[in-house]
């Protein structure tokens, strides 16, 4: 039977955690004490499987408790519970083998995946607290400055191995949800704008879906700030459309258009779809086919030449795209117009 020890000087926190753990599994034995001194006595007596400890407590704080546990060589799994202001302090616990922490207030969304990993999985992975904290500070500054290029680079760290490469999908989802919660608290702490705190995950997603949702949520934060500050999104959108229309026969990329209007590609892609309800590629394809229809209405234009005129060097490809967009081939379109 699994045993868990909760160490926290706040009675409400202790009671709340005990209730959540019992709801998770009634068979788990849960004990709770108010400080590190009593915690050590319980550990020596009962040798629990897992300890949840607060950082700041009287008599013996969480850092000292983690040091004592590491010296006992019990292979006891320890989770630090901290408030937002204790990140730097909690980071020191890494020295004593602590690989995970939870941010107060703890809910089942954050707690249950930790219980799954620590109690029932043979091998666990963790994220560096120092790298995570550094990322949060940079992300807050980038979002507040509306620096979409930096936000895009920070997202790349999650898409690569730097932050999320060693995390399981469940760990990644929990970590991303927590990162968003902390970011919103940081932004709201500036006391100029009020962001709504909502859980981005209602169900368990796959790895790529979690990162896509994370990207969408961060871009949404940027978008909200730009709007609240009276940004000129409409002008930017019209400028982008005009540039695309002027170069519709060329193979311009989304990145090229984003650079032209001064936005990060990730943000521009999100914003363009929001304004048009279609992707950049879909919009460009639609405009090309509209141009093809106008040219097909001119009898002196050969059908093969129409495709090349709008940017398709390969006629079969042009014919395939045209039929996909209109339901008929270019020749059938001309027949409907009475043009031979």
Beta bridge mates, 77: 50
What mean pLDDT is predicted for residues 304-328?
87
**319 has a pLDDT exceeding 50:** yes
- A 10 A CB-CB count for 43 gives 22
Percentage of the chain beyond pLDDT 90 is 8
Sheet of 3-7, strands arranged across: 29-33, 3-7, 50-54, 77-82, 100-103
Give yes or no for a cis peptide into 50 (omega within 30° of 0). Answer: no
Per-residue pLDDT tens digits for 74-85: 667 888 887 756
Give mean pLDDT, residues 18-34. 89
pLDDT of residue 122: 43
Please check the confidence at residue 141 and state whether its pLDDT lies above 70. Answer: yes
Residue 18 confidence (pLDDT): 93
Highest mean pLDDT among 204-213, 225-234, 313-322: 313-322
Kindly report which listed range (175-184, 225-234, 292-301, 314-323) carries the lowest average pLDDT score.
225-234
CATH superfamily to which 281-336 belongs: Homeodomain-like (1.10.10.60)
32 DSSP assignment: E
| Type and span of the H or E element at 292 | helix 280-296
Q: Domain map of the chain by residue range?
A: 3-120, 139-221, 233-277, 281-336
| H or E element in which residue 53 lies | strand 50-54
CB proximity list for 79: less than 8 A, separation 6 or greater: 50, 51, 52, 53, 98, 100, 101, 102, 114, 118
Q: Residue 260: what pLDDT? A: 78
Rg of the chain taking only CA atoms, in angstroms: 28
More confident residue, 339 or 138: 138
For residue 103, list its beta bridge partners: 82
Phi, psi (degrees; rounded to nearest 5) at 82: -140, 160
- pLDDT tens figures, 249-302: 888 888 888 877 767 777 778 778 877 888 888 898 899 899 989 988 888 888
CATH domain 3-120 topology: Rossmann fold (3.40.50)
Q: Is residue 165 scored above 50 in pLDDT?
A: yes
Predicted confidence (pLDDT) at residue 16 exceeds the cutoff of 70: yes
Give the integer Cα–Cα distance in Å for 166 and 168: 7
User: Would you state the pLDDT for residue 38?
Assistant: 92
Exposure string for 12-27, b = 16+ CB within 10 A, e = fewer: ebbebbbebbeebeee
Token reading at 44:
């020596």
Read off the pTM. Answer: 0.42
């Amino acid at each position: 039977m699994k045993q868990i020890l909760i160490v926290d000087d706040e009675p409400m926190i202790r009671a709340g955690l005990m209730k959540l753990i019992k709801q998770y599994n009634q068979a788990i034995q849960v004990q709770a004490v108010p400080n590190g001194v009593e915690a050590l006595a319980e550990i020596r007596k009962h040798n629990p499987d897992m300890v949840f400890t607060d950082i700041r407590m009287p008599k013996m704080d969480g850092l000292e408790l983690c040091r004592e546990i590491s010296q006992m060589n019990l292979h006891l799994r320890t989770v630090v519970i901290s408030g937002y202001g204790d990140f730097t302090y909690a980071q020191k616990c890494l020295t004593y083998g602590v690989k995970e922490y939870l941010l107060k207030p703890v809910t089942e969304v954050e707690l249950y995946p930790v219980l799954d990993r620590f109690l029932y999985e043979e091998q666990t992975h963790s994220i560096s607290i120092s790298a995570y904290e550094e990322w949060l500070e940079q992300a807050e500054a980038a979002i507040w400055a509306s620096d979409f290029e930096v936000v895009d680079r920070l997202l790349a760290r999650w898409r690569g191995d730097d932050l999320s490469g060693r995390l399981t999908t469940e760990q990644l989802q929990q970590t991303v949800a927590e990162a968003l919660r902390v970011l919103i608290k940081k932004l709201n702490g500036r006391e100029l704008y009020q962001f709504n705190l909502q859980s981005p995950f209602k169900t368990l997603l796959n790895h790529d879906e979690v990162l896509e949702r994370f990207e969408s949520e961060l871009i949404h934060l940027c978008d909200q700030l730009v709007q609240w500050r009276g940004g000129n999104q409409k002008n930017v959108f019209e400028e982008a459309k005009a540039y695309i229309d002027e170069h519709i026969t060329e193979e311009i990329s989304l990145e090229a258009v984003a650079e032209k209007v001064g936005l990060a590609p990730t943000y521009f892609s999100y914003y363009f779809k929001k304004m048009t309800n279609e992707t950049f590629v879909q919009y460009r394809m639609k405009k090309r086919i509209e141009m093809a229809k106008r040219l097909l209405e001119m009898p002196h234009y050969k059908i093969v030449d129409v495709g090349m005129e709008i940017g398709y060097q390969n006629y079969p490809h042009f014919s395939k795209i045209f039929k996909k967009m209109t339901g008929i081939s270019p020749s059938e379109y001309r027949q409907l117009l009475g043009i031979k």
